[in-house]
Amino acid sequence: MRARNIKPTAMRELVLEVLSRQTAAIGLPELEEHFEKADRTTLYRTLKTFEEKKLIHKIDDGTGTVKYALCSETCECEPDDLHVHFLCKKCEKTYCLYNIPVPTINLPPGFQLDGVNMVVNGICSNCRT
């Protein structure tokens, strides 16, 4: 896991462990709840480090809380690696649809594409009983 060049401290191990257990993306406030002692700042900086080293990626689902999820092994967070995200308006969980790549967009002339954020919202399969 630390093929990503991150110094493995105790705290980081714990955070990564929590992240690995998630079935949906997780935000800083929720991550905080998983710890008794840990400070928000430390978690914040841990996530930031993880993101910079491309161990996780950021997801802005429009809920006001930025969420994070593990990147796939080979992910470099470039346009080709990007996938669609799904926000359930019932359970408020955000899922990575790892196998649904973001569609290619033809921008108007003169526009340079660097990245895409695509969030689909609706109701997830769990919430549809």
Interface residues toward Zn ion, by CB under 5 A: 88, 90-91, 124, 127
Structural tokens at position 29: 């406030």
Are the beta carbons of 88 and 95 closer than 8 angstroms? yes
Binding residue for DNA, selected from 33, 37, 99, 114, defined by CB under 7 A: 37
Partner whose binding site includes residue 33, from a copy of itself, DNA, Mn ion, none (CB under 5 to 8 Å by kind): none
Q: Would you say 7 or 128 has its CB closer to DNA?
A: 7
- Residues 30 and 26: their CA atoms lie apart, in Å, by 6
Tell me which residues touch a copy of itself (CB under 8 A): 60, 62, 84, 86, 89, 97, 100, 103, 105-125, 128
